[in-house]
Structure 1
């Protein structure tokens, strides 16, 4: 069961790219509604372009190294538990990951690899998927 938590982070991105996802038809109909507004998360803004996304997560969690993050995940801790143990807020971790994945979705939309309806469907599910991932089975 604890090994599954380790896979959550890696599978999250794959789940987003697997297709239109659950509820695509509903999201597509909402996308056609002109009153639909996409909400941007309160993301962490990085000023140094060359900083890797993994470093952003590690720093947000208050960890000194990638190995430390790996070890804590391997022990079966969720990202929320790791954040709490280092006096960090799990919502900041969620906001960071949502912002990063939203950027990847936007890039795919701009590149034409997904339609706007697919983009909207993924975006509608994004925060819930990330939140479940950050909290693991604890929430």
Structure 2
């Protein structure tokens, strides 16, 4: 390949990558994002606290079960490597309630997939049988095997 073509292709790839990241409203877990949020905390710690309190929807059952007050608090705890059970224990939350919430949501999703014809009855029953163990191990930060 011609050196000019390599440079042009590389430049296009970099521009597309950067422009996609600049125009996206999603935040991805990366060291840069964590570094930026840490520096913002140092600049104005009160601003972050007021924004975190405003972000929490009223009556969010997951936050109530975990004992967290905002999505940002939950995000930072998971980002730092804590399991949902560790987060709940640290915030006087209810680990069993977290498991029950996830089980209810996944059971509903499996029911919808069965009703839509995406699962056979046998597949549905097999997945339902494994679901409690999978969710419990996930909440405790363990691999299911």
Specify the TM-score bucket, using the shorter chain as the normaliser. 0.5 to 0.7
The answer on 1:102 being equivalent to 2:100 is: no
Q: Distance in 1 between matches of 2:66 and 2:135?
A: 15
When Rg is computed on C-alpha atoms for both structures, the one with the higher figure is 2
What is residue 135 of structure 2 aligned with on the other side? 130
Q: So what's the TM-score if we normalise by structure 1?
A: 0.57
Q: Do the aligned partners of 2:88 and 2:95 also contact (CA within 8 Å) in 1?
A: yes
Matches within 5 A, 1:1-139: 55-137=60-142
- Over residues 37-96 of structure 1, what are the superposed CA-to-partner deviations in whole Å (9 max), with x where a residue is unaligned? xxxxxxxxxxxxxxx8xx432232121111110100011111001001111121111111
- Gap runs ≥5 in structure 1: 1-5, 7-51
In structure 2, the residue corresponding to 1:113 is in which secondary structure? coil
Q: So what's the TM-score if we normalise by structure 2?
A: 0.55
- Gap runs ≥5 in structure 2: 1-28, 30-56
Higher helix fraction: Structure 1 or Structure 2? 2
Q: Distance in 2 between matches of 1:110 and 1:134?
A: 27
Structure showing greater relative contact order (alpha-carbon pairs closer than 8 Å, 6 or more residues apart): 1
Q: Distance in 2 between matches of 1:56 and 1:104?
A: 18
Figure out how many residues of one structure are paired with residues of the other and give that number.
86
Could you list the structure 1 runs, at least 4 aligned residues long, displaced by more than 2 angstroms after superposition.
Answer: none
